[in-house]
Amino acid sequence: MNILAEINNFEDLKEYLPFLIPLAVIQLGFMIAALVSIFKHHKYKTGNRVLWVILSLCLSIIGPVLYFALGKTDEED
């Protein structure tokens, strides 16, 4: 099964763009922001660096949200 070939067969990719673009921006933006913050800090409120990197990479949007809410310290960057 060739996924790319199937995607090319989509009736009109333009139809999907109104939600694909914001979803991708939010998801990637959150993940990059979380990873930058994780590597900038050495101390976390809960957990450790490895845990937060894995969660941020694997749990789509929930991982970064949990990091910012429960892992990141309140000190300024």
Q: Which residues bind other proteins (CB under 8 A)?
A: 1, 3, 6, 10, 15-16, 18-20, 22-23, 26-27, 30, 61-62, 65-66, 68-70, 74
SS3 18: helix
Query: Cα angle at 60 between 3 and 48, to 5 degrees?
Result: 135
Closest CB 42 distance from other proteins, rounded Å: 19
For CA atoms 23, 25, 28, 29, the dihedral sign is negative
Which of 60, 58, 68 lies closest to 24 in space, CA to CA?
A: 60
Q: Which of residues 30 and 52 has its CB atom nearest to other proteins in the complex?
A: 30
Closest CB 77 distance from other proteins, rounded Å: 11
Closest CB 29 distance from other proteins, rounded Å: 8
